[in-house]
């Protein structure tokens, strides 16, 4: 097996800021990712993507360090369990790097079997059922209102809004006026430092009558007692994101929140994300699939698990202007594979990357 990888700067359509990053600095404009390709001696190929996030102390260097330690001869499209166990053993561990290789292995294996990944994993994909929210980063009330109106005009019927700054209420009020009747999900990215503060904010959000749920209101480092206190009193469902990195966190989340946000980049790929979704469901948690800033490669990979979710937030590819891949389609917020040219594997087609290490991925 031959492993090649290449870092790539995804360009954001608009500057992006969340709680804990500098909204006043205008937000970030570039998000570096790493694309990988595995090719075996028979010429079979699979591709993957790592989207490292500073929220989890990852960057392209930590991803590259992990990839440099990989002995590709221990990876095989025909021995996924052994390959997966080997990836778990590599130190220092890097979930986004592991994710990229997990995607490439499944892409190659499913392509070799002549089926899409969702079928290879024993899942289906319910066309027409999966609606994603569209995310708005923290900005001024005017800019957030303008972006919300533009999203609604483009057919998005569900918005997810980042909060966690002093101007939250002004931001949300402006946005709600600009997007009348549209349901809103709120993500605090752990911004509210104690349970009383979190409850005050959530009660105000509930009073608007527009908010569906609140994601990660408090830091994951707070004790369970604080989370249980908030869960008992919250008028809105609570979804754990930073609180839920892998399936191992499911028992704690079942005590502390109503649902969890699974991301391929946090868990380490489709294989562990599948486990994270199933474990959460077994414990009665609502499930959500989320993303980072990502190309259509990672977003499409996540979409293969959509049938195991209650909520989708797979819009990272809609936030960038130089997506090098074509995959799952988003029409009016609805994700679907109808008409996607590539029928097998991840169903992702490479559509041009200057100087790329990738060969053209001819639709099959
Ligand atoms: Mg979140």
CATH of the domain at 144: 3.20.20.120
One domain for residues 106 and 152 = no
Q: What's the domain count of the chain?
A: 2
Ligand 1 centre and the CA of 246: distance in Å?
A: 15
| Residue 316 buriedness (CB in 10 A; 0-12 / 13-18 / 19+) | buried
Question: 313 C-alpha to center of ligand 1: Å?
Answer: 9
Q: How far is the CA of 111 from the centre of ligand 1 (A)?
A: 32
Does 26 map to a domain?
yes
189 CA to middle of ligand 1, Å?
6
The whole-number pLDDT of residue 223 equals 98
Determine the distance separating the centroid of ligand 1 and the alpha carbon of 186, expressed in angstroms.
9
Q: Which helix (H) or strand (E) is 83 found in, with range?
A: helix 80-89
**pLDDT value of position 21:** 63
Q: According to the model, what pLDDT value does residue 352 have? A: 64
Residues with CB under 5 A from ligand 1 (ion): 187, 215, 241
Residue 260 DSSP SS3: strand
pLDDT computed for residue 7 by the predictor: 95
Q: What's phi and psi for 219, nearest 5 deg?
A: -65, 145
The pLDDT value recorded for residue 280 is 98
Distance 215 CA to ligand 1 centre (A): 6
Task: State which residues of the chain have pLDDT below 50.
Answer: 22-24, 355, 357, 359-364
C-beta of residue 329 within 8 angstroms of C-beta of residue 337: yes
- 315 and 198 in a common domain: yes
What's the CA-to-centroid distance between 290 and ligand 1, angstroms?
7
| Per-residue model confidence (pLDDT) at position 364 | 41
Domain with 31, as residue range(s), is 2-120
What distance in angstroms lies between residue 263's CA and the mean position of ligand 1's atoms?
9
Nearest to 240 by CA among 255, 229, 224, 253: 253
How many angstroms does the Cα of residue 71 sit away from the middle of ligand 1?
33
C-alpha of residue 187 to centroid of ligand 1, in Å: 6
Span from the CA of 160 to the centroid of ligand 1 (angstroms) = 10
How many A from CA of 292 to the centre of ligand 1?
9
Q: Are residues 245 and 96 in the same domain?
A: no
Q: Residue with structure tokens 């570039």?
A: 30
CA–CA distance, 291 with 130 (Å, rounded to integer):
15
Which pLDDT score, from 0 to 100, does residue 204 have? 98
Q: What is the pLDDT of residue 23?
A: 46
Q: What is the pLDDT of residue 357?
A: 45
Residues 236 and 303 in one domain: yes
Residues 69 and 181 in one domain: no
Residue 25 pLDDT: 54
């Amino acid at each position: 097996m031959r492993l090649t990888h290449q870092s790539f700067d995804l360009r954001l359509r608009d500057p992006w800021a969340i709680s804990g990053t500098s909204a006043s600095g205008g937000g970030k404009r570039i998000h570096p990712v790493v694309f990988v390709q595995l090719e075996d001696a028979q010429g079979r190929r699979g591709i993957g993507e790592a989207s490292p996030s500073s929220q989890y102390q990852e960057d392209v260097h930590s991803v590259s360090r992990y990839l440099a330690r990989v002995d590709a001869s221990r990876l095989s499209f025909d021995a996924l369990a052994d390959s997966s166990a080997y990836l778990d053993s590599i130190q220092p561990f890097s979930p986004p790097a592991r994710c990229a290789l997990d995607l490439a292995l499944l892409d190659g294996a499913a392509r070799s079997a002549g089926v899409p990944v969702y079928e290879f994993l024993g899942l289906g994909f319910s066309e027409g059922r999966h609606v994603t929210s569209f995310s708005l980063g923290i900005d001024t009330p005017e800019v957030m209102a303008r972006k919300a109106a533009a999203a609604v005009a483009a057919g998005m019927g569900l918005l997810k809004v980042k909060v966690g700054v002093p101007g939250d209420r002004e931001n949300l009020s402006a946005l709600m006026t600009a997007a009348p009747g549209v349901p809103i999900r709120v993500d605090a990215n752990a911004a509210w430092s104690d349970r009383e503060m979190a409850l005050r904010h959530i009660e105000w959000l509930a009073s608007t009558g527009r908010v569906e749920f609140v994601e990660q209101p408090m830091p994951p480092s707070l004790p369970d007692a604080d989370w249980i206190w908030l869960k008992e009193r919250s008028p809105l469902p609570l979804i754990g994101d930073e609180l839920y990195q892998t399936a191992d966190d499911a028992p704690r989340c079942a005590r502390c929140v109503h649902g969890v946000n699974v991301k391929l980049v946090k868990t380490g790929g489709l294989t562990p994300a599948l486990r994270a979704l199933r474990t959460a469901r077994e414990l009665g948690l609502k499930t959500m699939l989320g993303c980072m800033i990502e190309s259509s490669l990672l977003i499409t990979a996540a979409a293969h698990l959509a049938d195991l979710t209650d909520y989708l937030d797979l819009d990272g590819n809609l936030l960038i202007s130089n997506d090098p891949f074509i995959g799952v389609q988003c029409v009016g917020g609805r994700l679907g594979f109808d008409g996607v040219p590539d029928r097998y594997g991840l169903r992702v087609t490479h559509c041009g990357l200057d100087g790329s290490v990738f060969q053209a991925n001819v639709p099959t």
